[in-house]
Structure 1
Amino acid sequence: MSQITSVPSRGTVRATFVAAYSAVTLAQITNALPGALSGTFAVEFHTSGAGLTWIAGMFLMGIVVFELSWGLLGDMFGRKKLLYVGAAVSVVGSVLAALAQTTEMMIFAQAVGGIGAGILFPISLSMIAAITPDHRARAKVIATWAGFLSLGAVISPVLAGFTAQFFTVPGVAPGAPNAFSGWRAAYLVAAALAVLVLIVALRAKDSAAAEGRKLDLPGQITLALGLIAVLYATVTAVDAGFGSAQVIASYAAGGILLVAFVVIESRTAQPLIHLSLFKNSAYSITGIVAVTGMFAFLAVCFSTSVVVSGLALAETWKVGVLFVFIQGPAFAFIPVVGWLIHHVAPRWVLTAGFALMAVSGFWLSTFTLGTPEAFGGTPWTAFIPPLLVLGIGFALTVGSVTAVAINTVPPQQIGMASATTNLLRDLGFALGPVIGSAIAFGIGATAFAGPLAGILGGAGLPAEAVSGLANVPPLGFLAGWDGVIAQFSGQAVAGGAPAPAVDGMVQALNAAQPQIQGVAGTSLGQGFQAVYLTAGIAAILSAILTLFISARSSAPTSDAIAETTEANVEAVV
């Protein structure tokens, strides 16, 4: 953490705490909403696999690509001003999400909301730290801040489920004209909370620590563009395939930009990231497990939302209940994890947490996925035990990974080690839905191709019609049947097919709809089984790697305690 100084302010301490705690709760509510609603978005927007991945990943990227700069800008120009900006951007992002009618609109809304949350997380923390100079007192208020963050993670899925259940206009199909899907009310609630944060912040105290601080603009630009290019390539590969020229070019551009970022960071006097940290092998291992372990967590969360809501067609409130079991332990176990980190070598806590996450991933990979419960699919309640195991594992790892990191570096590098580990951890969160989608939809499309051709051929469709529909991904048949039929009819007419022949083929397709959608669901189920398995492997590898970390001490130093608590639940769900 940077040196903390205050600037003259007429605000009150009480208002500062209320504003900061409300802001971090708001940020985590908006942060967790896309995860709980991924399956709902698939049905609502009739989106492709890539579109669904953009919705889930864009919010997280809005946090990751700028998170090392927002705190610095608050230090330079005043944290209260940045809090205003973050709350205002959150209002805009939440309102845009509530009004979104297309996948593209929702992606843009998530990008705006992610930037707002990315500002509120570090700024709310630094504001209360600035008015609490004593180390012990600061550790306590940071723990309270962490509690409100975890509370937001618990509120979010409940809010999504409640509004989806009780605020949807009855008798009107989601996405139809004049329809109001209840989940939109959750974003309106978030917008209202953001307005309240703005009002309370008017009486908050300001603070800054500008002395000697300088923004690493070349490093920030190359890091942001490099990460976005890699994200774009991976998401595009969900539908286009990894061999696509567009995907290859984007990966190449991202790689060049990230190499440029490393070169810049090695030469600048005040870098975003001190690369010397990675000369420490123990810290490097911690950085790796921060990415792989948190990737495993978010891959399971994203997959569960799509599988239970999008494929099994469970009501949104049921997904909300499942996410309470995922997020609840992080809130309930705050005192337990705090005690463990202070009395047990953090790497053992971290290893145990990753091992539990691995158990969850392997357990879920054995479920039969892709079939609604009414047709013999896995009951949604069966997900509760493995997801509770995942939640306990996450509670143990999200703070411990930073505790281990700061114990492997000299005292003067604790602040940078904590910030860099946070970045790597959040990068893992962002990669969860992105890589998970690439795996699930890639395997699903491959598994779907053969059975689909057989069904279409059996329905009497000509070979050219079969080849045209073969390019439609399985999620398209599940979430956008009407769109598939309209596209097929338009292409057939444009190809010169007579109207009676087109009508006959459409009738044949509609007759085969249950069979096609059943195969599409089970094919995607196989893909998400592979994601759960991949998450389990990533988590168990993370657990093994942590065993080779040789920490400098078995517990954090007194100066490190506040840094550890600060990062304990600054995680995304």
Structure 2
Amino acid sequence: MLTSSLPTQDIAVTRAGWRGWFALAVLMLPVLLVSVDNTVLSFALPEIALDLQPSSIEQLWIIDVYPLVLAGLLVTMGTLGDRFGRKRMLLIGATGFAAVSALSAFAPTAALLIAGRALMGVFGAMLMPSTLSLLRSIFRDRDQRRFAIAVWASGFSAGAALGPIVGGFLLEHFSWGSVFLMAVPVLVPLLVLAPFFVPESRDPAPGRFDPVSVLLSLATMVPIVYGIKKLAVEGPLSLAPVLFIVGVVFGWLFVRRQRRMASPMLDMTLFQRGTFSGAILVNLLSVVGLVGFLYFVAQHLQLVVGLSPMAAGFALVPGLALMIVAGLAVVPVAKRFAPRVVVPVALSFSVVAYVMVALSTADLLQLIVAFALLGIGIGAAETVSNELILSSAPAAKAGAASAVSETAYEVGAVLGTAVLGGILAAFYRSHLILPAGLSEAAAQSSRETLAGAVAVSNTLDDAALADALRAAAAHAFDSGVVVTALIGAVLIVVAGVIAATTLGGTRSTSTK
């Protein structure tokens, strides 16, 4: 049976001073960069396609190779940080990420850009677990740590808000390589300041490095993440079921090996803690809901409402700003009320947001309000759940715990786009009623995606036919939004139920 008890040792601790808060500011640099990078590439892809002329498969891999490598290596890199030093892994990751990003900005071929994106995934996997796990050692006082994690989580929201705006600005004034070059001015200050302000921390009794476990973790995550993407694009008759089976088999082998090792790469007993496992699931489902919402609202704002990418980005800023505010404001609330109360109440705001979208997408203001409510719920829930993940794990295993949390985030992001996006695409195609008068090629392009239909409408000489096509495509798309919004609401309800039953029933007032 899972237990929700938290560690109780180290009751008396020293509170962090100004150096700790300055270290937090330094650690926010890679958090902002990675979160911006998650959204900015999609804006650059059209220019990349025109310049490098990749094949359809190469274009897919330019997007997919980074999250595949990142998800596959997060647990490995988090564990290596525990063993060899979390600050050391952070500095290696920052150096490599900046160097490879700069080289990728001038990639002459699609193949070299894909290779660069893969290497960025390797170094990115070193960055994120290190930033979160270092907060565990810098802020030993739990109240301070909860606030620091709220700031850390807010960095993701700020990056997501900046992504469309920064991407739009760079691509209006510079070439596509600028979206990769921006890593350099962000990470150079980290490399200069981190050695002075960020303390080193590691597992005081690390075991031996196990290459077999590394290979098994890769063989588990990569097929599963890639299978999710294949399922969304090609449906259940694709290789997706085979990839899932392969991933599950290697996952079983990985778990079995960890349980038999005296010093495992990932301590599987962490998952026997109800608080840890419950918080991981809340994180995953919350990210599915957030990314799935962003997926369809971004398309609706640009392709149905007709906003520019930058204008669509600005329309989402209020919601992302409230996500940041909620993540910080929940800190004093979490001191007074139990996590199993705080998280479900917070997520109820996100459920209301999805229901509002399911009822209507016609009103732009209503969409902005809905996203604001979603942001309030996700922002508060993510702060509490991330803090519980770190607090429920031993300090020596902070890197591994952070890596599991980051893996849940990456898988949730893939699921949000692939599953909810796939369902939305399927409903779009099945409900699209094309107006008469389109050529077969135009009709085929219109059936593929909403963007395809809008692109076709812009090439038509008959204004009435173009208007009819856009109206039909918008209607079909919004019919899919209704279904995916209801599914999103159900997923958030499930996250709330998990939180209510696993996250403990007492206030989190201890210092540990």
Q: Does 1:229 align with 2:223?
A: yes
**Which of 419, 433, 436 in structure 1 is aligned with 2:417?**
433
Paired residues in the alignment total 493
Task: Tell me the CA shift for residue 540 of structure 1.
Answer: 1.5
Task: Tell me the CA shift for residue 273 of structure 1.
Answer: 3.8
Task: Tell me the CA shift for residue 513 of structure 1.
Answer: 5.5
Q: Does 1:21 align with 2:9?
A: no
**Which of 343, 350, 374 in structure 2 is aligned with 1:357?**
350
Residue 187 of structure 2: aligned partner: 194
Residues 207-286 of structure 1: pairs in structure 2 closer than 5 A = 207-209=200-202, 211-214=204-207, 215-244=209-238, 246-279=239-272, 284-286=277-279
Task: Tell me the CA shift for residue 418 of structure 1.
Answer: 6.7
Task: Tell me the CA shift for residue 198 of structure 1.
Answer: 2.3
* TM-score (normalizing by structure 2): 0.78
Residue 10 of structure 2: aligned partner: none
Residue 377 of structure 2: aligned partner: 393
Distance 1:45 1:208, change over 3 A: same
Q: Does 1:524 align with 2:477?
A: yes
Q: Does the 8 Å contact 1:161/1:320 carry over to 2?
A: yes
Distance 1:120 1:545, change over 3 A: closer
Distance 1:511 1:28, change over 3 A: same
Distance 1:337 1:350 in 2: 10
Superposed CA offset, 1:21-79 (max 9, x none): 33433333332443367477579859999999877766555544333332332343344
Q: Does 1:120 align with 2:127?
A: yes
- Stretches of structure 1 that go unaligned for 5 or more consecutive residues are 3-12, 170-178, 369-376, 486-506, 561-573
Residue 445 of structure 1: aligned partner: 429
Q: Does the 8 Å contact 1:79/1:126 carry over to 2?
A: yes
User: Which segment drifts farther, 534-543 or 26-35?
Assistant: 26-35
Q: Does the 8 Å contact 2:446/2:453 carry over to 1?
A: no
Q: Does the 8 Å contact 2:43/2:164 carry over to 1?
A: no
Task: Tell me the CA shift for residue 194 of structure 1.
Answer: 1.5
Distance 1:352 1:322 in 2: 26
Give the partner amino acid of 2:506: S
Distance 1:128 1:153 in 2: 18
* TM-score (normalizing by structure 1): 0.71
Q: Does 1:473 align with 2:436?
A: no
Residues 498-537 of structure 1: pairs in structure 2 closer than 5 A = 515-537=468-490
Residue 490 of structure 1: aligned partner: none
Please identify the structure whose Cα radius of gyration is greater.
Answer: 1
Give the partner amino acid of 1:533: L
Distance 1:393 1:54 in 2: 33
Aligned with 1:65: secondary structure?
helix
Q: Does the 8 Å contact 1:19/1:197 carry over to 2?
A: no
Distance 1:480 1:55, change over 3 A: farther
**Which of 309, 331, 356 in structure 2 is aligned with 1:316?**
309
Q: Does the 8 Å contact 1:29/1:155 carry over to 2?
A: yes
Q: Does the 8 Å contact 2:283/2:409 carry over to 1?
A: yes
Task: Tell me the CA shift for residue 538 of structure 1.
Answer: 0.5
Residue 140 of structure 2: aligned partner: 135
Distance 2:28 2:500 in 1: 33
Percent of aligned positions with the same letter in both sequences? 17
Aligned with 1:556: secondary structure?
coil
- Stretches of structure 2 that go unaligned for 5 or more consecutive residues are 1-5, 8-16
Residue 91 of structure 2: aligned partner: 84
Give the partner amino acid of 1:306: Q
